[in-house]
Amino acid sequence: MWESKLFTAVVVAAHSFIFGAAEARLVTIPSTPFSTRDGMYSLYQLKSIMYDKRYAQAVDDKGQTLIPETLEQFARTFQQDVATSLGINVPVVAGDEAAPHSIMMTLDTQTDFLDAAGRATAEGYRLVVHELGMTIAGASPLGVWWGTRTVLQAAVLGNKSIVHGQGVDAPGWAVRGLMIDGGRKFYPVGFVAEMCAYLSFFKQNTLQLHLSDNINNYPDRYSEERTLGLYSAFRLSSQDAAVAGLAQLRNESYSQAEFEWMQKQCVQRGVTLVPEIEAPGHALAIVKWRRRIALETDLSMLNISHPDMLPSLEAIWSVFLPWFQCKTVHIGADEYDDKLVPQYSHFVNSMATFIRQKSAKATRIWGTFTPRQGANVSRDVVVQHWSRRMGDALHDFVDEGYQVVNADNAFYAVGKWSSAYPPPLSKTLVFSGNPATGGSFSPNILDTADASRNAPRDSPSIQGHLAAFWNDWGPNGTTVLEAYRSVRDALPALADKQWGGDLTESEYDGIVDALRDAAPGHNLDRRIKSLTHVVVDYRFASAAEDGLIADTSGNGYHGRLQGQGCIVTAAALSLSGTCHMVTPLSSKGRDYTLSFSLKPAKPRRRSSLFSGPDSALIMEQDGRLAMLSDGQHYQLDPSYTLPTDHWTEVSLVAHGDQTFVKVSTHPHHVPRTMEFSTRLGVWGLKFIRAPMAFEAPLANIGLGFVGLIKDISLRASA
């Protein structure tokens, strides 16, 4: 039933589906211009995915990546996505003309694919659907790739059928996507790859990764000792002696192989990873590495006038520029001392010249000082506008001849809590962010409150738009999956506007959940397939000789014992501390209830009751409970300890953005409920308690635990 309702919504063509009607479109994300005619093509008829062998090794050389995928490579990834999202398995075939019941992927050198400024774009494509299949013809292989996203989405929403017709589609802007603050919160390589897959499904092509930063410094209140003790990080780790000691958090930084892997994973889906190394402000990690180049009035900044400052930055960039497989890099240049504007301009221009001469790459900076303030930054440097207090982007940058990436703080969120930029990103503002009309936002809108500060839609100075997610309070403020949740719902809506689509909010709300669930290449929601609301159920009625523990939920997620000393007895699992149980699962996202009964032996020992790749539920040696996530320790109510030598019923419950533990030593008693939270240090003035949302850890049960456990059950509800 739900599939037929979604199909009703998938094609909206202004009252009638007349072939050639100018207003006809597919309701996808972004919306797709598409003139329809009678008939549907069912992908159940599909026999192959074809790529034009004449262009098999063609690439898009006009985009931002230096390692673009070929047409053939995109075809093979598309084949995997068709299997994942639609459950349809067909071969990939090379050919010079479309075979019956194929999706033909080819290039179109005749059609004018134009952006909002009327310039040619290599990201455009033409889609034709007919009774014998379909053709996606792109201005480049990347354009073809975006066409495959349209096909997947339309098929998901149309019960694996797409209406006959044709359309020409192209992005209005070249830069579309998200920036994440990896300087104050480490994002593992797998998360970055999954995030790129999520962006790609909605035709966003940029993930900017902020690679160095620190918790805010307040030199008027902080001593040198306190400043140097603030959390800071530089996320690139090299064995090169020139940067020895720069990446102090080795387990939370990227090796060259890891960074190259992330870039490749992103490019496979049309997304370019744009690296940012922040200086001369927000540079405490660099100061800790080379104290002598600090600005003495604020140790989180670099002293541009120091003779070793530029050579130090050049040494850093010399090591890492070869890692970056992109045409533009970001040097930060945000929030510096406003008494040093001339020195700031010299720094930016010097670094931009160095980077261009060293690597032929372009440079991007945060909009910080304007020409009106005396800044004299080269017009070859792209300005990423983020705050109206840092200048009027139209009059101070666009009208002064700069290319601008719009990252205005209207679409800016700080993890977990902020008085100015609370999460999540605002979906409503996406559809009401044009101050001139009250209608939808678009990348040329540099100020959502003042229409006089906005560029024309066809301005050639606006390169595009990026949303931003910051971790101002440091690594304990959010988990990486909470960060995803903070941007998840608004990002696809922004994708529509960044591309140039025209979805209404009601149209968007009607399709986004189904599309998110079908997006290939990621499982950031940590979904688990289940026949019922009971996902897994271990009752320990018996154990097979090979150590198999039956899952009685009907889903077949059977566990297995590993190590020595595990015994199934009296419907419970006895654990010796040298054995544990493994499951085929990893993590379950919100909402859920993970319940079990536990009887720790005396003396207790620190153990991992449940663990997975995203989190672990820990019993400390004194019986207190804690969660570990992203290397951070979150203590439950310290007044509670698990008793020894008798049973306690425990439930780990995730509801929305909160996680609770419920405990009871008697089945007829009201359980005691406690909540996990984090403590945020805000502005160096106060602490704020905020809730934590943890995934259920499921991969391992009882690591290091001594005692009995039974009645393990996971339900997909709170």
Give start-end residues of each CATH 3.30.379.10 domain in the chain. Answer: 2-169
Other Cβ atoms within 10 Å of 595 Cβ, number:
17
Of 397, 517, 522, 406, residue with least CA distance to 80: 522
Fold of 175-518: TIM Barrel (3.20.20)
CATH code for 2-169?
3.30.379.10
Distances (CA, A) of 76 to 90, 227, 261, 481, 672: 11, 51, 18, 29, 53
Give the E-state strand segments of 170-279 in sequence order.
175-181, 206-210, 212-214, 232-234, 272-279
User: From 3.40.190.10, 2.60.120.200, 3.40.50.1000, 2.10.10.100, which CATH number describes the 534-715 domain?
Assistant: 2.60.120.200
The pLDDT of residue 325? 99
d(CA 253, CA 618): 25
Which H or E run includes 256? helix 256-267
Strand bridging mode 404-406 / 462-470: parallel
List all residues 6 or more positions away from 402 whose beta carbon is below 8 Å from its beta carbon. 377, 379, 381, 382, 383, 461
Asked whether residue 14 carries a pLDDT value surpassing 80, the answer given is: no
Give start-end residues of each CATH 2.60.120.200 domain in the chain. Answer: 534-715
pLDDT digits (tens, 9 = 90+) for 612-625: 999 999 999 999 99
Give start-end residues of each CATH 3.20.20.80 domain in the chain. Answer: 175-518
Asked whether residue 4 carries a pLDDT value surpassing 50, the answer given is: no
pLDDT digits (tens, 9 = 90+) for 146-173: 999 999 999 999 999 999 999 999 999 9
Q: What residues form DSSP beta bridges with 222?
A: none
Q: How confident is the model at residue 668 (pLDDT cuts 50, 70, 90)?
A: confident
What is the model's pTM? Answer: 0.95
List all residues 6 or more positions away from 70 whose beta carbon is below 8 Å from its beta carbon. 56, 57, 58, 59, 141
The amino acid at residue 137 is A
The amino acid at residue 92 is V
List all residues 6 or more positions away from 513 whose beta carbon is below 8 Å from its beta carbon. none
User: Which structure tokens are listed for 426?
Assistant: 């605002």
Active-site positions?
Answer: 335
Instruction: Kindly tell me the burial class for residue 203, based on how many C-beta atoms sit within 10 Å of its own C-beta (0-12, 13-18, 19 or more).
Output: buried
d(CA 605, CA 568): 21
pLDDT digits (tens, 9 = 90+) for 303-352: 999 999 999 999 999 999 999 999 999 999 999 999 999 999 999 999 99
Asked whether residue 397 carries a pLDDT value surpassing 50, the answer given is: yes
Of 527, 397, 392, residue with least CA distance to 447: 392
Of 70, 131, 76, 73, residue with least CA distance to 98: 131
Asked whether residue 208 carries a pLDDT value surpassing 50, the answer given is: yes
d(CA 532, CA 715): 9
Of 332, 452, 343, 430, residue with least CA distance to 383: 332
* Mean pLDDT to the nearest integer, 497-520: 98
**CA angle 704-705-707, nearest 5°?**
150
